[in-house]
Amino acid sequence: MPGMRDMKPPQFDYVAPASVPEAVAVLAERGPESRVLAGGQSLLIELRYRTERPALVVDVNRIPGLSDIAVEDGSVHIGALVRHAQLEHARFGDPLAELFRQVAPYVAHPPIRARGTFAGSLAWAHPASEWCALAMALDAGIELDGPSGRRTVPAGSWFRGAFTTACLPEELVTGVRLPRPPAGAVVAFAEHRRTHGSFALAAALVMLRVSEGRVAWIRIGLANAADIPLRAVEAEHLMMGERPEPDLRAQAAARAAAEADPADEPHAPAAYRRHALATLVRRCLARAVENAGTP
């Protein structure tokens, strides 16, 4: 069949290092011509499209110790090989676990979620990625290991553009540290997409804590609202210290949409996507406030 061969990946060398130092040594030597393979649910597609043509694929799946979700005092640490499905079934009692469970079903399908990784989503940096929006909203720390040692990049300076991050070719993402929302925080997530399996046309997530009837802490994250994930800081600012009444929530939602910079897409002009974002944020705020009750 003509064109059929084009669905096969180009040739590459393959190495499966047994440890992070081994992987880093490989990347130090051949980083610029390499791609790291974790879940592979995006990389293998790009290889098949031949939009990625690495000379070397560095498979990190054989490295032990990268598959754990560690719940610590102030943060949750997600190893580089933690699959979407692990987050979908996260059962630690925390608002963050609740958010994982709400968001995960929107990430592809169960067989993809069994392989694809949270950290890989952040490394891939698709503008519509829900996990990237979550990382941005919480200002996650992306942990890297490289020839010049370890460093942590805050989400705010991680995303440099669509599919572009601060990761150097010689560096390996080893994990992500997510600060935990304060105790008593509630979460909500909403997404608009054309079909069940489509990428988000727009998505919003809200985490907030209400104390004595007023917003004491709030984070708003937006996916596919720009070429990078956004945290709607101005909208958060509007809500902080105020009573989260419907009028204010509508104002904040409108402000969040104004902070967005969506591109025109064939199925969704920018104005439509902005409208969708405002609606999604408003719904998330309403649901979160409802869940918060009236403490």
88 vs 94 by CB, closer to another protein = 88
Told to check if 21 binds another protein by CB under 8 A, we report: no
27 in Cβ contact with 34 (< 8 Å): yes
Looking at 112, 166, 248, 258, which residue binds another protein (CB under 8 A)? Answer: 112
- The residue range among 39-47, 166-174, 183-191, 275-283 that interacts with another protein, by the rule CB under 8 A, is 39-47
Question: Which of helix, strand or coil describes residue 192?
Answer: strand
Tell me which residues in 44-83 interact with another protein (CB under 8 A): 44-45, 47-49, 57, 59, 61
> Which residue from 162, 158, 142 is spatially nearest to 225, judged by alpha carbons?
162
47 vs 138 by CB, closer to another protein = 47
Q: Is the dihedral of CA 6, 227, 106, 176 positive or negative?
A: positive
Minimum distance between the CB of residue 135 and another protein, rounded to whole angstroms?
Answer: 23
Kindly give the residue spans of alpha helices, DSSP state H, lying in the chain.
20-30, 43-49, 84-88, 95-103, 110-113, 118-124, 130-137, 155-158, 233-239, 246-259, 270-292
Minimum distance between the CB of residue 289 and another protein, rounded to whole angstroms?
Answer: 25
Contacts of 119 (CB under 8 A, 6+ apart): 38, 78, 79, 80, 81, 82, 142, 173, 175, 176
Told to check if 111 binds another protein by CB under 8 A, we report: yes
Contacts of 111 (CB under 8 A, 6+ apart): none
15 vs 28 by CB, closer to another protein = 15
Each residue 167-206 as x (binds another protein by CB under 8 A) or -, in order, gives -----------------------------xx---------
What six digits make up the tokens of 80? Answer: 């580089």
Minimum distance between the CB of residue 11 and another protein, rounded to whole angstroms?
Answer: 6
**Which residues lie near another protein (CB under 8 A)?**
7-14, 16, 37, 40-41, 44-45, 47-49, 57, 59, 61, 105, 109-112, 114-115, 196-197
